[in-house]
Amino acid sequence: MVTSRETAAPAQTATLRRRGAVLERAILDAALEQLSTVGWNGLTMEGVAAGAQTGKAAVYRRWPSKEDLVADALRSGLPSIEEAPDLGSVREDLLALCRQARQAMFSRPGFALRAVIHECDSIQAERFHAVIVEGVVEPMIKLLAKVVGRGIERGEVHPGAANGYVYDVIPAMMMYRNKMCASEWEDPDIEEMIDLLMLPLLRPNGV
């Protein structure tokens, strides 16, 4: 015969195993899942707690507000692109970099980030400015600068192309067309952007 004490033991053990970093990771993952499915406006601390299979108090002890929780979830979950492609030509490097950016955009953290960008008001968005700049904008610009710099060394790119306006074009276009045109940036779309927009901007004398 199984006693109530014996049936309670596994549940108690499971709870003990989900403390500390393990529980925090579960909560952050649940926040990303909520953002990517119901968006910023639909995310609640209660829903995150349910998704993480923990109590609401466990969430509030670590993150006193929805903004604090989402900032940490994005910071911990955003995929990193650390190496600039080096395939021998600026065109191939840009295509490869855009495909990596597309993969990040359509990952779960990418969906979560876009939910925050699209749904937050200007005051709320300020809370996530550093997360977006440090986690997305600056790394992408750094990699684009490397690709352009290699192109200049090979004589494919004119030196004047090494500036912030040029580096902004690809991330700005990818975000704009995704939001306004629902573009999922299939390979033909990426190729058109590179061939019709970026290469004319980069090539010496526009040729």
CATH architecture of 4-65: Orthogonal Bundle (1.10)
Band the pLDDT of 2: cuts 50, 70, 90: very low
C-alpha count within 13 angstroms, C-beta hemisphere, residue 200: 5
36-65 pLDDT, tens digit per residue, is 899 999 999 999 999 999 999 999 999 999
- Only one residue has tokens 């005051």, namely 123
112-162 pLDDT, tens digit per residue, is 888 888 888 878 778 888 888 888 888 999 999 999 999 999 999 999 999
Positive or negative, the CA dihedral 189, 174, 107, 48 is: negative
Question: Is 127 or 200 the better-scoring residue by pLDDT?
Answer: 200
Q: Which long-range contacts (CB under 8 A, 24 or more apart) does 57-63 make?
A: 58/23, 58/27, 59/27, 62/24, 62/27, 63/27
C-alpha count within 13 angstroms, C-beta hemisphere, residue 69: 30
Residue 64: per-residue pLDDT: 94
Residue 206: per-residue pLDDT: 52
Question: Is 80 or 156 the better-scoring residue by pLDDT?
Answer: 156
Domain 78-206: give its CATH superfamily.
Tetracycline Repressor, domain 2 (1.10.357.10)
Q: For the chain, which residues make up each domain, given as ranges?
A: 4-65, 78-206
Question: Is 53 or 80 the better-scoring residue by pLDDT?
Answer: 53
The region of weakest confidence among 13-27, 125-139, 156-170 is 13-27
pTM: 0.78
